[in-house]
Amino acid sequence: MAILKLQARSSGPLGGLVVVDLTRVLAGPYCTMILADLGARVIKVEMPDKGDDARHIGPFVEDGWESVSAYFFSVNRNKESIALDLKCPEDRAVFDRLLEGADILVENFRPGTISRLGYSWEQLHRRHPRLVLASISGFGQTGPYRDLPAYDMVVQAMGGILSLTGEEGGVPTRVGVSIGDLAAGMFAAIGVQAAVVERMRTGVGRHVDVGMLDCQVALLENALARQQVDGRTPAPIGSRHPSITPFGLFKALDDQMVVAAGNDGMFVRLCDALGAAHLCDDPRFVTNAGRCEYHADLKVLIDAALASRPVAYWLERLRVLGIPCGSLNNVEDVMGDPQVRARGMLVELPIGQSRRLSVAANPIQFADAPPARHTPAPRLDQHRSALLQELGMDRSPLTP
């Protein structure tokens, strides 16, 4: 068979790139969804019968005889699906043909698994020197933890994030979204694009190695500096900021709200707006360092001032003065937020035969670009016939 190049999508910044996606559950699918949202064509390769493990994780939408995972649905839009068993010679032949036409292969098996299947980086690079391989794993392809399994909760704990989250004096608390997986998916998408840019210069692909634990360490930002400069191990401090005050949750008449006065000038304006100008003259609060030291005292005084009016009043008043602030939204509130709606950050797609669900859109927007078009997460093996014909391996007619 002649070497082929799979037909690429023509729209989007990554239009022209074809991704073969061996990933499952969350970190890998999140990476490939980002690439798909940006215009790459993503062909998801799943195990026959079972498919991606995420297809069996709830919540589920019941659609007649079919039960569809909303979990899977949320991170697999804009992809095609073909079911292949890479231990079966016939299916390996299809997979090899896919690789001939691909630019990028993404996998999130435990290190060594893809090599045992005959697709190590060395083998792939020899056969397809332009191919970019991205491997996402718990601990990366090297190091003493290389072969250990990991989930989001494991790397949140081992990477220090868990030790920083929760109420002051309380127990560490998991971040409410799977930041271990999501961060790895985002860093992998960045790495893939960097490797593609390099390939434009060199003509040669790279192996992108992303470990979930590494990504958690990369998110520690100022906690690393505080550990070394202060000589104290950072611990949970609730919603407030460790180095800026006032910067956190405060209680108004009807609900909690966020106020973030990030410098001395904002603090003065905040005090004026609250009818508490005397706080600016209090020796405890004149500097940010003092406000941080006496943060508990200041919070009591700000809460007392805010208690006279509802959140809506304070948001309007503080925003006019250029003081960053916001309501404490739950997920339902976010879905109805006018700014979220205006930015197109919710995409409604069909799930099953009779229902539609909103999913979070890609937050990367481009000036003057038309609205992105999205397809729902694919059914298992949905695109087999079309793909086999495109690969020249099936003589049956394409499905309309």
The catalytic site residues sit at 241
- Report the greatest alpha carbon distance in the chain: 83
**Ramachandran sector of residue 160 (left: φ over 0; alpha: ψ -120 to 50; beta: rest):** left
* Residue 215 DSSP symbol: H
SS3 251: strand
Give the three-state DSSP class for 170.
coil
Contacts 24+ apart (CB under 8 A), 286-292: 288/244, 288/245, 288/263, 288/264, 291/245, 291/246, 291/267, 292/242, 292/243, 292/244, 292/245
Burial 247-262 (b: 16+ CB within 10 A, else e): bbebebeeeebbbbbe
Residues 57, 61, 67, 72, Cα dihedral to 10°? -40
Q: Tell me the three state secondary structure of residue 248.
A: strand
